[in-house]
């Protein structure tokens, strides 16, 4: 049975205001592809490496991203 989740109004408002870009990354070990959400802010964000856990083999690998990775859940 599917479960629906309801966000608190203050969290929901913050999520709607946050903008992100979807990027596809590939695991360095098993080559599995997955999508990550990266913050999209006007101006210059920090450029650097972030660590991502592979959804297939659970390896933590580095990805170069223009800003921070945003955690979900994401509104549809």
Instruction: Report phi then psi at 3, rounded to 5.
Output: -110, 135
b vs e for 49-72, b when ≥16 Cβ sit within 10 Å of the residue's Cβ?
Answer: eeebebeeeeeebebebebebbee
How many structural domains comprise the chain?
Answer: 1
What range does the domain containing 57 cover?
Answer: 15-65
Q: Is residue 2 part of a domain?
A: no
Q: What is the mean pLDDT of the chain?
A: 77
For residue 19, being part of any structural domain is answered with yes
5 found inside a domain: no
Is residue 46 in some structural domain? yes
pLDDT of residue 76: 61
* Per-residue model confidence as pLDDT tens digits over 38-68: 988 776 666 788 899 999 999 999 998 888 8
- Confirm whether 72 is domain-assigned: no
Quick one: what percent of the chain has pLDDT higher than 70? 64
Residue 1 domain flag: no
Whether residue 76 lies inside any domain: the answer is no
Q: Which residue has the higher pLDDT, 5 or 26?
A: 26
């Amino acid at each position: 049975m599917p479960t629906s989740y309801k966000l608190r109004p203050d969290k929901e408002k913050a999520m709607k205001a946050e903008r992100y870009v979807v990027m596809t990354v590939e695991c360095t070990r098993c080559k599995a592809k997955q999508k990550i959400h990266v913050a999209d802010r006007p101006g210059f964000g920090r450029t650097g490496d972030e660590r991502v856990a592979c959804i297939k083999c659970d390896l933590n690998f580095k990805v170069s991203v223009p800003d921070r990775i945003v955690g979900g859940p994401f509104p549809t």
